[in-house]
Amino acid sequence: MSDLKRSLSEAVAAAFAELGIPEEYGRVTASDRPDLADFQCNGALAAAKVVRKPPREIAAGVVEKLSGRPELASVEIAGLGFINLRVSPATLSARANEIAADERAGASLFESPRRVMVDYGGPNVAKPMHVGHLRASIIGESVKRLYRFRGDEVLGDAHFGDWGFQMGLLIVAVTDEDAFVRNLMERLAQGSGAYSPTDERRVLDELAGRVDLAMLDRLYPEAAAKAKADEAFRDRARKATAELQAGRYGYRLLWKHFVEVSRVALQREFHALGVDFDLWKGESDVDALIEPMVRELDEKRLLVDDQGARIIRIARESDKRELPPLLVISSEGSAMYGTTDLATILDRRRSFDPELVLYAVDQRQADHFEQVFRAAYLAGYAKEGELEHIGFGTMNGPDGKPFKTREGGVLKLHDLIEMARAKARERLREAGLGAELDPAEFEDIAHKVAVSALKFSDLSNFRGTSYVFDLDRFTSFEGKTGPYLLYQAVRIKSVLRRVEAEGHEPGRIKIIEPAERELVLLLDAFETALSEAYDKKAPNFIADHAFKLAQAFSRFWAACPILQAEDETIRASRIRLATTTLRQMELALDLLGIETPERM
């Protein structure tokens, strides 16, 4: 099954070829002027420079070749040589019925799927997630769903930050504050090391009553600030980091407790956002690989000694600006952030052998990933182009700066979700929606509305851009918002429940009215939106399609009565159109990670 744009491109390309002009000039796009045509081809203007003929002369030749084709109601020349194409009602009806019969609503599958890894989320252990994690989580989740939907074998990895200098900072801060924990660490350091799983569980249970996430959240910024001002404290934290990575038993148990208390909160926030991972790995999972990897890098003569540290020089002669080397081992002997990233690439190569790894991480980390990727290529852990950073901008406040609380602090993600839920409840009550529902169902719908507002406001922007967060606007049931799309989907569901209650059946689609024509052309454009989103790793193309589809259905709803249609054949056709629109809209929303309620 081929979408109309592709099939028309093939026909127009063949017409160009018959005129002795390369086929690539026959590319067809949706018309900029839908009042004049459904599709257009601008290739005659570009080809004119190559074949040295007037563009209108080339266009006239193409139009002559296309004349009489049954799928076209008209093919005309406009302006300097634009070729306008309008699809015949019969062809449009046939395409609509193809989409209606397809459980994927017109979306194709790749014939040659790939193994793809998506690295996203990236929260740090022992720190609550904040608004800065929102974009990574929902962009990564959407890209993962999109690639999987197209047929790729995809794994999503949270990739926790659980093994760097911040762990040493917390170990020192916690042991400084809590005498019991400090004494426990000292006793374990003096022991034989022959501890059973029962001993380990006992220690973890003891820690559970004393060290919680609130304590870690309070201590971390204090410790980070102190490390900048107090050299002795910083050295102790560096030593603790090195001892943790070297396997000091007590520190390993304390670190394991940090991970346990953090994961409960992390899973809560991810679940609330409809985000899930196939792998819940962290930097620590590749610890065993680092020592042999460093030896291998040394054997390959990639490591260079530099002031007591060990680095990989990754600069290239073609660079337009200087990129610093990748720091692999610090002067204190610790593995660095880039080292664990490099070991993670090696681990993924051995365990999954991905053909593409996508990193959904803040655009400000671009240089870091360029360093790591180049080091991986030099080491032979990946081929050029197999690693890609899909960076994104920031979510900003009204002042245009990264979003903060009123007090100037970083807003926790949990608090943001609660703010969105509260606003969603308010919006539902203002609109008189859900008043007859029981409290549990109302809360479920309010949560779905809140998540749709957060996700759609983000994903409707190209990921590389920053945007201003406006909860009032994003939770509105009007305009280009997630709640508006949910409302349209729920409205279709309501109509279809009435259709079923009255015993009506869907039938073959037959295009008669302009609003039906517009709706089918948008249903056909799903494939184009998916292709653009896939190629650019940019879910905003799907968000744009879903919004346009909802608008087109609204116009169809106003112009083409369904239940009130007197002709049974027309009513059956419109029922099928409504059913197909709902299926495609829900598929698009699911790719954005947005769940639609059954009613409001």
pLDDT at 194: 64
Is residue 338 within 8 A of residue 328, CB to CB? The reply is yes
Tell me what the mean pLDDT of segment 271-275 comes to: 93
pLDDT at 366 over 80: yes
- Which of 549, 598, 587 is CA-nearest to residue 106? 587
- Which of 455, 391, 416 is CA-nearest to residue 592? 455
Quick: pLDDT tens for 176-192: 999 999 999 998 888 76
pLDDT at 462 over 80: yes
CATH superfamily of 116-160+278-389: HUPs (3.40.50.620)
Length of the chain in residues, anyone? Answer: 600
Phi, psi of 396 (to 5 degrees): -105, 160
The ranges assigned to domains in the chain are: 4-87, 116-160+278-389, 165-272, 413-591
| Cα-Cα-Cα-Cα dihedral sign, residues 485, 488, 493, 496 | negative
Q: CATH second-level architecture of 4-87? A: 2-Layer Sandwich (3.30)
- What are residue 85's DSSP bridge partners? 39, 75
Q: Which of these ranges, 31-40, 204-213, 473-482, has the smallest mean pLDDT? A: 204-213
At position 372, the amino acid (one-letter code) is V
Tell me what the mean pLDDT of segment 39-67 comes to: 95
Express as a percent the part of the chain with pLDDT over 90. 81
Edge-to-edge order in the sheet of strand 303-306: 303-306, 309-312, 326-329
- What are residue 156's DSSP bridge partners? 118
CA angle 107, 108, 114 (to 5 degrees): 125
pLDDT at 4: 97
Residue 188 neighbours by CB under 8 Å, 6+ apart: 203, 249, 250, 253
pLDDT at 201: 87
Is residue 105 within 8 A of residue 587, CB to CB? The reply is yes
Is residue 168 within 8 A of residue 126, CB to CB? The reply is no
Tell me what the mean pLDDT of segment 575-582 comes to: 98
Domain covering 413-591, topology = Isoleucyl-tRNA Synthetase; Domain 1 (1.10.730)
Q: Which two structure tokens, joined as six digits, stand for 372?
A: 């790591």
pLDDT at 297: 97
Three-class SS state of 444: helix
Q: Which of these ranges, 70-79, 172-181, 187-196, 446-455, has the smallest mean pLDDT? A: 187-196
Residue carrying structure tokens 């249970």? 205
Confidence of residue 333 (pLDDT cuts 50, 70, 90): confident
Tell me what the mean pLDDT of segment 15-33 comes to: 95
- Which of 560, 579, 547 is CA-nearest to residue 514? 560
Q: Which two structure tokens, joined as six digits, stand for 64?
A: 């002559």
Residue 305: enclosing H or E segment and its boundaries?
A: strand 303-306
Q: How many CB atoms lie within 10 A of CB 363?
A: 16
Confidence of residue 408 (pLDDT cuts 50, 70, 90): low
Residue 50 neighbours by CB under 8 Å, 6+ apart: 21, 22
Residue 388 has what DSSP assignment?
A: E
- Which of 175, 286, 184 is CA-nearest to residue 236? 175
- Rounded Cα distance between 304 and 415, Å, is 46
- Which of 295, 196, 207, 294 is CA-nearest to residue 251? 207
Burial label for 198, CB within 10 Å (0-12, 13-18, 19+), is: exposed
- Rounded Cα distance between 410 and 413, Å, is 9
pLDDT at 409 over 90: no
pTM of this prediction exceeds 0.75? yes
- Rounded Cα distance between 58 and 47, Å, is 8
- Which of 286, 200, 216, 287 is CA-nearest to residue 250? 200
Residue carrying structure tokens 């954005």? 592
- Rounded Cα distance between 82 and 526, Å, is 24
Phi, psi of 81 (to 5 degrees): 155, 20
pLDDT at 245 over 90: no
pLDDT at 595 over 90: yes
Integer-rounded Cα Rg, in Å, for the chain is: 29
pLDDT at 13 over 90: yes
CA angle 458, 461, 466 (to 5 degrees): 80
pLDDT at 128: 78
- Rounded Cα distance between 438 and 456, Å, is 27
- Rounded Cα distance between 139 and 160, Å, is 17
Edge-to-edge order in the sheet of strand 153-157: 153-157, 115-119, 356-359, 387-389
pLDDT at 80: 93
Confidence of residue 405 (pLDDT cuts 50, 70, 90): low
Mean pLDDT (the chain) is 93
pLDDT at 397: 85
Residue 108: enclosing H or E segment and its boundaries?
A: none
The β-bridge relationship of strands 467-468 and 395-396 is parallel
Confidence of residue 406 (pLDDT cuts 50, 70, 90): low
Q: Which of these ranges, 100-104, 149-153, 266-270, 482-486, has the smallest mean pLDDT? A: 266-270
Residue carrying structure tokens 């603790």? 240
